[in-house]
Chain A
Amino acid sequence: MKLSRRARFLLGLATAVVLAVVYAPLALVLLNSFNADKTFGWPPTGFTLEWWRMAGESEGARDALLTSLEVAALATVLALVLGTLAAMGLRHTRFFGRNVVSLLVILPIALPGIVTGIALQNAFGTMLGVQLSLFTLVVAHATFCIVTVFNNVQARFQRLGGSLEQASMDLGAGPWTTFRLVTLPMLRSALLAGALLSFGLSFDEIVVTTFTAPDTVQTLPIWIFGNLFRPNQAPVVNVVAAVLVVLSVVPIYLAQKLSGDTAGAAAGAR
């Protein structure tokens, strides 16, 4: 587009301002984790590493982190298996309209998390009479993770078609061999992208977790939320927050390594 020099400059300026506003609060969290003032008065009064030491010794935070990793890993594995199976099952069938399917896939993303959360809590508690446990939590997380895996795998199927697998069958490979040697390698990067997204979503999830986890299971977001309003814990919470800000670079780096189409997949995260 032929934009005038002035228009270009104004656009660039507006973009820079918006991006600055986006990153300023995150930078503030990082900065405050070294702020000597316990109530985080501004400007900072001095530099300290005391909060980081306290956070390192906080057992609550460490346990919560481990729980979060465990739940995210289990939910991701479950979502990978079921999401792939769903995409494969739906690949050749046209028994009900495409629109129904697309709407069904969008629904868990488009409805607020609180609806998913309370619906599942109600289904577990009131309808099925299942006690909330780590298991119900993983099932709940897997429910929204499946969508991301399904979307990624289905997009890959649509792009590549089925001719490779037909060729494999023609050459005498059984269904299992074909799946192992042809389908799986074909899906590899789509599965990795889906797994990355699922893991990230589950790790960060708090709303559905609140509704489907028992009191004894504390994920990291639940721990943060629980300690957020305690003045004594504020510095530790801030350090944990700072660590999470720094860690958020990791999936972006991995996604970049996974090539371009992952960026698009990350866009449809929820």
Chain B
Amino acid sequence: MLWLGVAYLGALAALLVTALWTQNDFTGQVERIWTLENFQTLLGVEVYRTITLRTIGVAAAVTVIDALLAFPVALFMAKAASPRLQRVMVIAVLTPLWASYLVKAYAWRVVFATGGPLDELGHLFGLGTPGYGLPATIVTLAYLWLPYMVLPLYAGLERVPDSLFEASADLGAGVGLTLRRVVAPMLFPSFVAGSIFTFSLSMGDYIAVKIVGGTTQMLGNVVYDNSGAANNLPFAAAVATVPIVLMLVYLTVVRRTGALEQL
């Protein structure tokens, strides 16, 4: 706990402080002069605004796609599968989590490659592969974080008692109406719990973006490029505060739903 408190929070605080410093263009050294310049650049320059909005858009798209894909799987696991099949399916969903992150991103690079499987499949319909870019990035990220959405939804659905479904059906509601009016409100905290992962992980990603994103830039790339090649650590720190602030706002908002207890 001390470690977490001191090392982690200390490092975060130091990061915020660094964001307020400046860099000597000549020597590339960090100079301890207080300035808001980095945040002015971040907010004022068009490119960074676009990248920030794009990042939020991608993270939101990934979250929605994951929720749509995860829901039928979770519902099947929780309410339609036999106990034995349930156990097998939990393992089936968990196994890809242990497969290396890089390997999965790499696998999608192969899928999207020119002359790859998707390209061949597309030719049947007179299309090619969409190639590396924003769509490939969203698909890959949605793929990477899918289990993080399936598992909370599954746990949430397990807790919805069967009698509620029967009561709803007895009162004349069809399956669709029951899902919308009874299950959806009860499942919302689980969705939020899953979305914390899908949203946050997508927002900070820069590796998958580099592998399948072509020239697409996300916030993570800006942080990485500035801390590495450009060597402007204060600016990178300022950019990194964007996901921190967004996540803190998000966590505060969702605290009321009780989602945090489900993590």
- Which A positions have Cβ atoms within 8 angstroms of B? 1-4, 7-8, 11-12, 14-15, 18-19, 21-26, 28-29, 32, 39-43, 82, 86, 89-90, 101-116, 118-123, 125-127, 139, 142-143, 146-147, 150, 200, 204, 206-207, 210-211, 221, 224-225, 228, 237-238, 241, 244-245, 248-249, 251-252, 255-256, 263, 266-270
20 interchain pairs (CB within 8 A)?
A15-B89, A18-B69, A21-B143, A22-B143, A23-B96, A26-B104, A28-B111, A28-B117, A104-B1, A107-B8, A112-B220, A123-B15, A147-B4, A150-B1, A150-B4, A248-B99, A248-B100, A266-B97, A267-B152, A267-B155
Residues of B close to A248: CB separation below 8 A? 95-96, 98-100
- B47 on interface, CB distance cutoff 8 Å: no
- Which B positions have Cβ atoms within 8 angstroms of A? 1-5, 7-12, 14-15, 18, 30, 69, 72-73, 75-77, 79-80, 89-104, 106-111, 113, 115-117, 119-120, 143, 146, 148, 151-152, 155, 162, 165-166, 169, 175, 196-197, 200-201, 203-207, 211, 220, 223-224, 227, 233, 236-237, 240, 243-244, 247, 251, 260, 263
Are A267 and B14 touching (Cβ within 8 A)?
A: no
Whether A225 contacts B97 in the complex (CB less than 8 A), given A102-B260, A256-B91, comes out as no
Residues of B close to A24: CB separation below 8 A? 111
With a 10 A CB-CB cut-off, give which of B15, B116, B119, B243 has the most chain A CB atoms. Answer: B15
Whether A25 contacts B104 in the complex (CB less than 8 A), given A106-B251, A126-B30, comes out as yes
Residues of B close to A107: CB separation below 8 A? 8
Closest A residue by C-beta to B99 = A248
5 new A-B pairs (CB below 8 Å) besides A110-B247, A221-B102, A263-B91?
Answer: A28-B117, A104-B9, A118-B223, A143-B7, A269-B97
Are B220 and A206 touching (Cβ within 8 A)?
A: no
Residues of B close to A89: CB separation below 8 A? 1-2
Whether A244 contacts B110 in the complex (CB less than 8 A), given A90-B1, A146-B3, A210-B224, comes out as no
Are B95 and A118 touching (Cβ within 8 A)?
A: no
Are A42 and B260 touching (Cβ within 8 A)?
A: no
Residues of B close to A112: CB separation below 8 A? 200-201, 203-205, 220, 243, 247
Closest A residue by C-beta to B79 = A1
Number of A-B contacts (CB under 8 A): 244
Residues of B close to A39: CB separation below 8 A? 115
Are B251 and A25 touching (Cβ within 8 A)?
A: no
Whether A111 contacts B247 in the complex (CB less than 8 A), given A106-B263, A210-B224, A241-B103, comes out as yes
Closest A residue by C-beta to B166 = A2
Closest B residue by C-beta to A104 = B4
Are B8 and A252 touching (Cβ within 8 A)?
A: no
Whether A252 contacts B169 in the complex (CB less than 8 A), given A25-B108, A29-B103, comes out as no
Complex CA gap A99/B187 in Å reads 23
Closest A residue by C-beta to B221 = A114
* Main secondary structure on A side of the interface with B: helix
With a 10 A CB-CB cut-off, give which of B12, B162, B236, B244 has the most chain A CB atoms. Answer: B12
From A32, A119, A146, A237, B240 is in contact (CB under 8 Å) with A119
Are B251 and A123 touching (Cβ within 8 A)?
A: no
Closest B residue by C-beta to A123 = B11
Are A86 and B96 touching (Cβ within 8 A)?
A: no
Are A266 and B94 touching (Cβ within 8 A)?
A: yes
With a 10 A CB-CB cut-off, give which of B9, B196, B263 has the most chain A CB atoms. Answer: B263
Q: Closest 6 CB pairs between A and B?
A: A112-B204, A25-B107, A123-B11, A86-B1, A14-B72, A248-B98
Are B204 and A207 touching (Cβ within 8 A)?
A: yes
Are A29 and B102 touching (Cβ within 8 A)?
A: no
Are A237 and B106 touching (Cβ within 8 A)?
A: yes
Residues of A close to B143: CB separation below 8 A? 21-22, 25
Residues of B close to A241: CB separation below 8 A? 100, 102-103, 106-107
From B4, B91, B108, B196, A86 is in contact (CB under 8 Å) with B4
Residues of A close to B1: CB separation below 8 A? 86, 89-90, 101, 104, 150
With a 10 A CB-CB cut-off, give which of B99, B148, B169 has the most chain A CB atoms. Answer: B99
Whether A143 contacts B162 in the complex (CB less than 8 A), given A114-B206, A224-B106, comes out as no
Complex CA gap A104/B6 in Å reads 11
Residues of A close to B75: CB separation below 8 A? 11
Are A126 and B110 touching (Cβ within 8 A)?
A: no
Residues of B close to A11: CB separation below 8 A? 72, 75-76, 80
Complex CA gap A96/B15 in Å reads 25
Whether A118 contacts B15 in the complex (CB less than 8 A), given A206-B102, A211-B227, comes out as yes
